[in-house]
């Protein structure tokens, strides 16, 4: 499997195992921009890779510095204004977001160094679905271009006893 495919699977599987109530993890393909035509269970996390800059570290192996971006979609119809009878329910998405951070901060895997949160931001354009963006910096190691050499082992003590002329 590809390096980023492996990273995606490791992160998404870990999120599903560690966060109670998380219903959906998917590769971010703009689903939230087309929310009226794309139905998914919530809360959901959409994962993408941001710009990664690479440098060769030897033998065609490269190390990249980049970010993993999550868009956390949390459905909420409660009122958050001061004095609301369900304000605690309206603000529950903050706790969910903290659980995502707690789960991912420091996580490392097969091809990536420990994740380090660098930013989070509320996205205000999705009506009753609160979308929070979290970004995590990390290094990626991609060794898929390493030249694989096939060596043939020979026995140096073999004597040739018959040679045709």
Question: What is residue 90's predicted lDDT score, i.e. its pLDDT?
Answer: 73
CA distance linking residue 150 with residue 160, whole number of Å = 25
Contacts of residue 109, defined as CB under 8 A and 6 or more positions apart, other chains included, come to 6, 7, 10, 11
Supply the pLDDT for residue 126.
Answer: 63
Q: What is the pLDDT of residue 83?
A: 77
Output the pLDDT for position 75: 86
Round to whole Å and give the CA distance between 140 and 51.
Answer: 12
Number of continuous H segments (helices) and E segments (strands) in the chain:
3, 6
Q: pLDDT value at position 86?
A: 75
Q: Please list the rounded mean pLDDT of every run of 10 residues in the chain (165 residues).
A: 94 97 95 84 96 92 96 83 75 91 97 97 80 96 78 61 57
Q: Determine the pLDDT at residue 117.
A: 98
Spell out the residues 6+ positions from residue 27 whose beta carbon is closer than 8 angstroms to its own: 8, 46, 47, 48
pLDDT of the residue at 38: 81
Q: Which residues contact 101 (CB under 8 A, 6 or more apart)?
A: 117, 120, 134
d(CA 30, CA 125): 13
Two tokens at 3?
């390096």
- Residue 165 confidence (pLDDT): 58
Q: What is the pLDDT of residue 148?
A: 64
For 34, phi then psi, to 5°, come to -120, 40
């Amino acid at each position: 499997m590809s390096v980023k495919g492996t990273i995606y699977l490791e992160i998404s599987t870990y999120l599903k195992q560690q966060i109670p109530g998380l219903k959906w993890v998917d590769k971010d393909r703009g689903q939230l921009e087309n929310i009226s035509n794309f139905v998914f269970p919530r809360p959901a996390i959409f994962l993408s890779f941001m710009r990664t800059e690479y440098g060769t570290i030897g033998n065609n192996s490269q190390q990249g510095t980049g970010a993993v971006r999550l868009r956390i979609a949390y459905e909420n119809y409660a009122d958050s204004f001061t004095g609301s009878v369900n304000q605690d329910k309206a603000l529950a998405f903050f706790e969910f977001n903290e659980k995502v951070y707690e789960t991912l901060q420091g996580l490392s895997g097969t091809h990536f160094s420990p994740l380090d949160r660098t930013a989070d931001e509320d996205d205000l354009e999705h009506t009753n679905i609160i979308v929070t963006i979290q970004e995590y910096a990390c290094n990626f190691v991609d060794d898929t271009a390493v030249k694989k050499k096939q060596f043939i082992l020979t026995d140096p003590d073999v004597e040739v006893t018959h040679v045709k002329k």
